[in-house]
Amino acid sequence: MPKKPVELRVSRAEGTPEGNLLEFLKNYPSKSTDEMVLTACRAFWMPLALRRLGIYDEETIKAAAIEAKLELLKQAEFITQLFGLEPNMTWAREAILQPQEKLELKNQPSTIKPDELEEEEEEEDDFSDMPQVREFIKLPTELEA
């Protein structure tokens, strides 16, 4: 039995930033709109979607997370090069640590030297500081309650 297709339709007002983005995606010469949208969605949301579904083993989810992170890092490097941004910006660390606050973007080189960086122990993230992510993934302990 063939699988039923899942569709997603997005529209925004013409001339708005998001409308212009959709026009850009529709008219991009070397990739299909579907592929561009799915590439971005996979990088941004796939590991969270797999975890939320609860039907994939941790190895599969972790592999998806690694693939997503690599794709995001590749895109970040592309944007950095294309727009001549400093590779290390002081505001970026703040934005990562305080995702709920809107920070003013400041294109300044980092004052942190590589030898000053501390290695952090890897911990499983409970996303307690990111309620929108917690709501999306519903960790297994929350599903049991």
Residue 105 has a pLDDT of 44
**Full-model pTM:** 0.61
More confident residue, 1 or 38: 38
Residue 87 has a pLDDT of 81
C-alpha 64/C-alpha 66 separation (Å) is: 5
The values of phi and psi at residue 135, to 5°, are -65, -40
C-alpha 94/C-alpha 131 separation (Å) is: 18
Averaged pLDDT, 115-140 = 49
Residue 88 has a pLDDT of 74
CB 50 within 8 Å of CB 60: yes
Structure token pair of residue 141 = 């302990």
Residue 115 has a pLDDT of 55
Q: 21 pLDDT exceeds 70?
A: yes
| Residue carrying structure tokens 């911990």 | 123
Residue 11 has a pLDDT of 96
pLDDT in tens, 66-102: 999 999 999 999 999 999 988 876 666 677 776 554 4
Calculate what percentage of the chain has a pLDDT beyond 70: 61
